[in-house]
Structure 1
Amino acid sequence: MRFEPITWERLTAALAGHADGLRPADGGTRLRIGVDGAPAACPGERAEHLAEALRARGRAVLTVSTAGFLRPASLRFEHGRQDPDAYADGWFDTGALWREVFRPLEPGGSGRVLPDLWDPVTDRATRSPYRTLPDGGVLILHGPLLLGHWFPFDLSVHLALTRGALRRRTGEGERWTLPAFARYEDEVAPAGKADVVVRTDDPHRPAWTGTG
């Protein structure tokens, strides 16, 4: 896999231009983009910058974070608060993401997306109102461990970190998650599944594979 140095500004503009020319693979009317990466790679920040660039092109965009689709604490912490296998396999409510985010965007779907479901601070449902993504709109889902669930992304971006860089850039209190990301690399191989891979070991000097 060959990487080309690029600035974040140029990368965001290139991704927006590429996405603007895509059509949903399932024949629907709304595009679905995934920005996958460990928290240390800042997928939320990259997703928001991409959303801003697409809005500047006249597209309606809804960003959704997997952090809003955590399972209740009783399920997440069933095997303790720092179990990496539970983090990899059971922290995120993928069924709710399918039901509340992806199915409404299928051909003939309502377009009514739930932007978040669960507040991990209060450990209660957020009760957020649904938001309607119009025809021609773009969903950007961002978060870690996204590419092993067969989510129907029309464009997927993986923010890659070597294991050494991931360890350096992960705070001491979150390093218990590192085995989960090692499993993800070994079992899912996200760099091989993503449409675009961005190397982010140096947060100020990204490099990418291009859009193919």
Structure 2
Amino acid sequence: MAVDGPDVAGPETLARAVAERLPPLGRPAVVVPAAGFLRPASLRLEHGRIDPDARYTDWLDARALAREVLDRVGPGGPAEYLPVLWDVARDRAARAGYEPMPPRGVLLVPGPLLQGVGLAFDVVVHLRVAPAARRRRFPAEQAWELPAFDRYDDEVDPAALADAVVLADRPEHPALVLQGRFG
């Protein structure tokens, strides 16, 4: 399951909250943040540290996320996953080992810009933050990323693709909108 949304919407926070609630229901859960599958700085920042187009297209290593996580826990895979590939702080391989996926387990992958890059998720929850709310809520040092999210809305239309949308303009008052097979 993808929990797609900008960092200001808290996709990892939601994924971890869901993961805590699933074991009592007989479904163990694993959270693998997409942030652990960013490309090395030499590729990610090739066009500069504040290039919104690079943020949109060059940061996430979607092929590695598919190869090391989604394909491995999916049908025919070895039922194991790599929890992190790249240590962004040190800009080097994390050197993590594969971990077993629990039987009947649910994999949650939180992060921004996850749709439209060919990742095979069974369920996608999109945390939608309207452009005006993004502009208010993004920290000033991250404002350069805003055009990447505008482009994502225009080119991918993540709310239309998602199975469920959480309107997250105001984090203290989220609103769930079911759609697709759930609506």
- Give the TM-score taking structure 2 as reference length: 0.95
Q: Counterparts of 1:102 and 1:136 in 2: how far apart (Å)? A: 15
Matches for 1:61-140 after TM superposition, within 5 Å: 61-140=29-108
Aligned to 1:155: 123
Q: Secondary structure at the match of 1:205?
A: coil
Which residue pairs with 1:17 in the alignment?
none
Out of 134, 151, 174, which is 1:166 matched to?
134
Partners of 1:158 and 1:106 lie apart in 2 by 21
Taking the aligned partners of 1:101 and 1:159, their CA distance within structure 2 comes to 22
Structure 2 CA distance, aligned partners of 1:73 and 1:194?
30
Partners in 1 of 2:82 and 2:76 — Cα distance?
A: 17
Work out the CA distance in 2 between the residues paired with 1:42 and 1:107: 29
Task: List runs of 5+ in structure 1 lacking aligned partners.
Answer: 1-32
The CA deviation at 1:134 is: 2.8
Q: Provide the residue aligned with 1:46 in structure 2.
A: 14
Q: Give 3-state SS (helix, strand or coil) of 1:209's partner.
A: strand
Alignment check: 8 A CA contact 2:37 2:64 kept: yes
Q: Structure 1 CA distance, aligned partners of 2:123 and 2:117?
A: 15
Structure 2: gaps spanning 5 or more residues: none
Q: Deviations over 1:105-144 (max 9, x none)?
A: 2222111100101111110111112111033111000100
Distance 1:55 1:177 in 2: 36
In the alignment, the residues of structure 2 paired with residue 209 and residue 73 of structure 1 have an alpha-carbon distance, to the nearest angstrom, of 37
- Is the 1:61–1:140 contact (alpha carbons within 8 Å) kept by the matching residues of 2? yes
Cα contact 1:60–1:133 (8 A) shared by 2: no
When the two chains are superposed, the root-mean-square deviation of aligned CA atoms in Å is 1.0
Secondary structure of 1:180's partner?
helix
Whether contact under 8 Å (1:158, 1:191) holds in the other structure is yes
**Aligned counterpart in structure 2 of residue 141 of structure 1, from 109, 125, 137:** 109
Structure 1: 4+ residue segments shifted above 6 A:
none
What residue in structure 2 maps to residue 26 of structure 1?
A: none
> Would you say how many aligned residue pairs link Structure 1 and Structure 2?
180
Structure 1 counterpart SS, 2:132 = helix
Amino acid at match of 1:121: A
